[in-house]
Amino acid sequence: MRGNGQEAGDFAALLLEGLQSGSVEVPYWLLQYYPQLRLGEHEVMLLIHLMAFKQKEGKDFPTPEELCARMSIAQDKVITVLQKLMREGFLLIDETKDPVTGVHSEAYNWSPLLNRLAAIRADEWEAARRAQIVSESARGERKDIFSIFEKEFGRPLTPMEFESITGWLDKDGHPEALILAGLKEAVFAGKVHFRYIDRILLEWQRNRITSVEQAKEHSQKFRSR
């Protein structure tokens, strides 16, 4: 006679086998994106049951009674949910005729749902791609402005100088073109150092100068005086 430990082990193995063989493939995007499609839990659960009937029992067209037996809603609610899914274009009913027997059959078709899920995913990919392009472009511009400063200074920038340029761009909000105009003014004045450029940008900010053209006009007036 086997002991309780052996029986418990057999039961656990049987349970694991049942769980593994009883799995159903459900599109992950359905679980991820159904709120964006404005689908509720009843609609999603019904779709999952349709997939389960097809995969595990070979039933392409389960009846409302069969679906109701698997769900926690009444049969009239099941019918309402089915009608909503078809009305909103998530579900189709395909009708076929056997060429030999002439028997008509019906099958639920959720490929429109999959197409819409794929469209959402494609939009996400496109948005991510555009964001990456913008980010790479911004990084490229930053690299250019640092390179221009290094060329004018005739040496690599120090970490503090990198930080100063980044602060002008991000913290103070100076346009890149205006910062380069400030650098040009410093070169013209023979005072190529960061404190002088910072004073130039501060002076322009006080006078509400936001473009290179305004900066040139202001500098010309300053020199004429």
User: What is the third-level CATH fold of 158-224?
Assistant: Arc Repressor Mutant, subunit A (1.10.10)
CA dist list (Å): 117 to 30, 85, 149: 7, 14, 48
- The rounded percent of the chain whose pLDDT value lies above 90 is 43
Both tokens assigned to 181: 């105009």
Write out the E strands in the chain.
Answer: 92-97, 104-109
In angstroms, the CA 135 to CA 189 distance is 35
Q: Which residue has the higher pLDDT, 129 or 3?
A: 129
List, for residues 22-38, the tens digit of each pLDDT value. 788 999 999 999 999 99
pLDDT at 153: 85
Every domain range in the chain assigned CATH 1.10.10.630: 158-224
The distance between the two most distant Cα atoms of the chain, rounded to a whole number of Å, is 111
pLDDT at 160: 86
193 closest CA partner among 221, 147, 160, 144: 160
pLDDT at 79: 97
List, for residues 117-174, the tens digit of each pLDDT value. 999 988 888 887 776 655 555 555 566 888 889 888 888 888 888 888 988 988 888 8
Every domain range in the chain assigned CATH 1.10.10.10: 25-117
pLDDT at 94: 96
Residue 191 pLDDT level (bands cut at 50, 70, 90)? confident
Query: Helices then strands (H, E): number in the chain?
Result: 10, 2
* Of 21-30, 64-73, 79-88, the least confident: 21-30
User: In this structure, which CATH number among 2.30.30.90, 1.10.3210.10, 1.10.510.10, 1.10.10.10 belongs to the domain 25-117?
Assistant: 1.10.10.10
104 closest CA partner among 116, 115, 95: 95
